[in-house]
Amino acid sequence: MNLFSNGNGSVSDYLRKLYGELEGEIDSFADEKIVNCDVDEWTEYLTEKYRVEPISFYVDYATRSIQKTQIKRNNPWCHFGDVYGEPQFYMVDGCNIDYKVPFSGDDVLLKCTPSTYIMTSFEIFGFQKPSNTNYGFITIRLSYTNQEMKGFGDNLEEKVNSDFRNQFSSFEKMSGYANDDIRSYNENLTSNVQQLLNKRREKADVFFSFSKALKIPLNLNSSSPNLTPIPLKKPHRANLNEPKPHAQEQQFYIDDSDFENIIKIIHLCGAALEESAKTFNQFNEEALRDYIKGMLSSHYENTVTGETFRRVGKTDIQIQREDKAAFIAECKVWHGIKLFSDAIEQLFCYATWKDTKLSLIIFNKENKNFAGVQQQIQSWLKENCKSCKQWNSNIWDCVKYREDTGRDVRLAVALYDISIKELPNSKKN
């Protein structure tokens, strides 16, 4: 096997191919992924993914082995072929000495020709590419006849090592030339990745700027005891003079003020449940959900549903527009932090990538240490969410990243204590 061979192309060809793969990966990003991605995080990831690791030989850690063999040598008496019956070659006793040199880096660089190169052959006896856990190796073979080795006398060790060093030096020079070719590529990779990401993001921004501007028009009952009435204007439709191309399907979502209003209504319900804990403690999860759903229905017209099929299951509460959910919520009874975490995963499974306003409502019916439950939930949210703001002792307003969609989701977690407190025994006379 020969290293740095022209038949495998040049280092420059390899770098152009690698850069083309980088461009292709970024171009393949879906619009919603590129718009909502963290450019710094993706820059760091892609830079590391497409960075070329330079070749490093560790000659001081080379191992050496020796094997008896027959050495092929030219016949000095054969000048005219076999006209006089002399063979062109003959085999004599000798040995092979193999130097196994470990290396790290992108092994492709050892197979391609750098822009600067030495006109010689780089034949090796063995090659092993590096893995994630092990170094690679090249094996350089030196062959000597027994007579040649006897002739080295007391200098045998020094002579063999000197021959190896002389031969190996050309390998080090060529790998150094290859490393020179990749240095500029690596140095500019971070800025190039940023430019490609920003360029791809600009292509998607136009569409998503319009998509994000479409807010779901929630219809408030005029007679509802709403906490903070939200002015909802009737959209104006311009006169159409001629047919136009069909617009993209509207992806409705609720804005932050509507979301906060919904959570405030849920909080009013939860506070009422806590005040009448003795009554509501007997309710099961479904009855508690229906109570909250009924209160929301009194505020928003014909949009609140319960036990609605969503993706992989049925969500407890959702507010929708034209069969498109904009807010979904789950109601659960507290049974420990593990099931709490599972409930959030379940809520995310119900939500499509378009759903960015979610809520989890927790009822504590059995745990007497309510403060401990609050602390467990707060610690979990701070550890697993990008941000977490506490409205009051019952509600946390968080932002959580969804890996499956590449988007941030606003998540409200509400916790209410409807456990029955035991009164201390009265003192007996």
Query: Which pLDDT score is estimated for 240?
Result: 33
Query: Which pLDDT score is estimated for 427?
Result: 47
30 and 112 inside one domain: yes
Query: Which pLDDT score is estimated for 234?
Result: 33
161 and 275 inside one domain: no
Query: Which pLDDT score is estimated for 101?
Result: 92
Is 344 inside a domain boundary? yes
241: number of Cβ within 10 Å:
6
Is 226 inside a domain boundary? no
Report the alpha-carbon angle 71-73-74, nearest 5.
Answer: 170
Is 425 inside a domain boundary? no
403 and 262 inside one domain: yes
197 and 77 inside one domain: yes
Domain boundary among 187, 203, 219: 203
Query: Which pLDDT score is estimated for 350?
Result: 74
146 and 65 inside one domain: yes
Size of the chain in residues: 429
170 and 33 inside one domain: yes
Query: Which pLDDT score is estimated for 19?
Result: 94
Is 412 inside a domain boundary? yes
Query: Which pLDDT score is estimated for 237?
Result: 36
pTM above 0.75, yes or no: no
Query: Which pLDDT score is estimated for 94?
Result: 93
272: number of Cβ within 10 Å:
13
Q: Which residues contact 278 (CB under 8 A, 6 or more apart)?
A: 420
Report the alpha-carbon angle 358-363-368, nearest 5.
Answer: 145
Is 147 inside a domain boundary? yes
186 and 79 inside one domain: yes
262 and 198 inside one domain: no
For the chain of 429 residues, list the mean pLDDT of each consecutive stretch of 10.
80 94 91 80 89 91 91 71 63 92 91 87 87 88 91 91 92 93 93 91 67 52 48 37 39 72 89 87 86 80 50 60 68 92 86 76 90 93 91 91 79 91 53
Query: Which pLDDT score is estimated for 133?
Result: 80
CA distances (Å), origin 30, targets 27, 35, 212, 248, 427: 8, 9, 16, 16, 71
Query: Which pLDDT score is estimated for 60?
Result: 87
Is 243 inside a domain boundary? no
Containing domain of residue 409, as a range?
A: 256-417
280 and 384 inside one domain: yes
Q: Please tell me the total count of domains within the chain.
A: 2
Q: Are 416 and 367 in contact (CB under 8 A)?
A: no
